Structure 1
Amino acid sequence: MTRVKTFFLSAAASLTLSLALAPALEAAPEAFVFDKAHTHIGLTWNHVGFSETRARFGDFAGELVLDEENPEASTLNVTIPINSLDTGIEKLDGHLLSADFFDAATYPEATFTSTKIDRTGDSTAKVYGDLTIHGVTKPVVLDVTLNKLDTHPMSGKKAAGFNAKTTINRSEFGIGQYVPMVSDAVEIFISTETSVAK
């Protein structure tokens, strides 16, 4: 076999291998980071039957590992400083952060770690995980909608946007002050943008 023929055969084999590996490389799970400027973590609860009180957490840290080919293999973890709670009313914030409710001095963080993901549609899923608040860990389920997965027009990076919601009973986390006059059920709503970490 001539050297020229050997060279072309080797080149063809390398090209074939590269083409075979390309889909696998493209399908590899990717780490996404959260855009804090375009993330809202909100809470809503009923106040003595007269109104809905709303609050948000203004700070958090976390990472989403997204597997596009196998979304069920994706993972999510988030940590929220309790002191970032904001109702827009300083006195109410202070009461909610006190030992009557979150007791932020003793339990400064809330965390969520996913344990399982089930797809429920082309752009929806249930994300199961462990939520820890006030030193108590309970399983919760987030109903998640993928809003968009595409190249972000501003950053040029691959980006993914989601909405998620769930409802918890705060008494199950040891925060039962004024139940049932102030509702036990607390609705949690999240809207976020993420982009590839690299």
Structure 2
Amino acid sequence: MRTLPIAAIAAIGLFTSAALVAQAGAPATPGAADPARVTGGTYAVDPGHTQVLFAYNHMGITNNVGVIAMPTGSLTLDPKKPADAKVSISFPVANIRTGIAKLDEHLMSAQFFDAAKFPNATFESTSVKIDGTDADITGNLTIHGVTKPVTLDASFVGAGTNPMSKKEMIGFSATAAIKRSDFGLGMAVPMVGDAVELKIVAEFDK
């Protein structure tokens, strides 16, 4: 019972703060979905804000997920000629995380990714087809030493200036679907699904 007045005071403070923010107007975000903000040039991938989420079916029962992050790479873009854009990105396979330590170790082993022998997964674009702020980005995906063509269904998310670094930022999201057996990773198919859905969030800084 003694904690109720404290909780009540905290709640009043929270609602008061929210009301003041509402009156003053919420602060604007640095970025916006405005292509006119893109100046063009060469951008480096931001490893702290770029991830690939992957999902696959397990025994027809669950859809399990994982993530791979901390890539290196670059984007070259001319806003007047967006179809000429080039993107190159490399993800360290050792950065794959499922939240299950033993599964992560298994994925790193020679039965799957063989991270010791094939430490990186890479994507190199070969063509870009533009449709407004969306694009089909086709390129060569290399995993486990095998290279296959893949098309990313990409969308422009936003651009703006980072208030701390003062660098221009540009962001995209994308989806794709691959078969792991195409890359020599077909262990346990079909008990563990062959199809893998990819969702990509990417930020590049100039």
Shorter-chain TM band: 0.7 to 0.9
Q: Could you list the per-position Cα deviations for residues 18-49 of structure 1 after superposition, in whole angstroms to 9, with x for gaps in the alignment?
A: xxxxxxxxx98501112222222111111111
CA separation in 1, counterparts of 2:85 and 2:156?
A: 13
Match among 109, 130, 135 for residue 119 of structure 1: 130
Q: Is 1:106 aligned with 2:122?
A: no
Match among 74, 84, 89 for residue 63 of structure 1: 74
CA separation in 2, counterparts of 1:53 and 1:99?
A: 21
**Aligned to 1:101, what secondary structure does the other structure show?**
coil
Alpha-carbon shift at residue 152 of structure 1 (Å): 3.4
Supply the RMSD in Å over aligned alpha carbons.
1.6
Alpha-carbon shift at residue 150 of structure 1 (Å): 2.9
* Contact persistence 1:82–1:108 (CA under 8 A): yes
Residue identity matched to 2:98: T
Residue identity matched to 2:153: D
Which structure 2 segments of 5+ residues have no match?
1-37
**Aligned to 2:205, what secondary structure does the other structure show?**
strand
1:51 maps to: 62
* Contact persistence 1:48–1:181 (CA under 8 A): yes
**Aligned to 1:141, what secondary structure does the other structure show?**
strand
Q: Identity across aligned pairs (percent)? A: 42
Q: Is 1:132 aligned with 2:142?
A: yes
Q: Is 1:144 aligned with 2:154?
A: yes
Q: Is 1:161 aligned with 2:171?
A: yes
Greater Cα shift, 35-44 or 61-70:
35-44
Change in CA separation of 1:28 and 1:35 when aligned onto 2, cut-off 3 Å? closer
CA separation in 2, counterparts of 1:118 and 1:83?
A: 32
CA separation in 2, counterparts of 1:180 and 1:32?
A: 40
Alpha-carbon shift at residue 90 of structure 1 (Å): 0.8
Q: Is 1:185 aligned with 2:191?
A: no
Alpha-carbon shift at residue 151 of structure 1 (Å): 2.9
Q: Is 1:95 aligned with 2:95?
A: no
2:19 maps to: none
Q: What's the TM-score once normalised by structure 2's chain length?
A: 0.78
Alpha-carbon shift at residue 155 of structure 1 (Å): 3.4
Q: What's the TM-score once normalised by structure 1's chain length?
A: 0.81
Residue identity matched to 1:139: P
CA separation in 1, counterparts of 2:40 and 2:172?
A: 17
* Contact persistence 2:48–2:70 (CA under 8 A): no
Residue identity matched to 1:78: I
Aligned pairs, how many? 169
Residue identity matched to 1:111: T
**Aligned to 1:176, what secondary structure does the other structure show?**
coil
Larger Rg: 1
Alpha-carbon shift at residue 153 of structure 1 (Å): 4.1
CA separation in 2, counterparts of 1:60 and 1:170?
A: 20
CA separation in 1, counterparts of 2:110 and 2:161?
A: 45
Which structure 1 segments of 5+ residues have no match?
1-26
Moved over 4 A (4+): none
* Contact persistence 1:29–1:74 (CA under 8 A): no
Q: Is 1:77 aligned with 2:72?
A: no
Change in CA separation of 1:142 and 1:46 when aligned onto 2, cut-off 3 Å? same
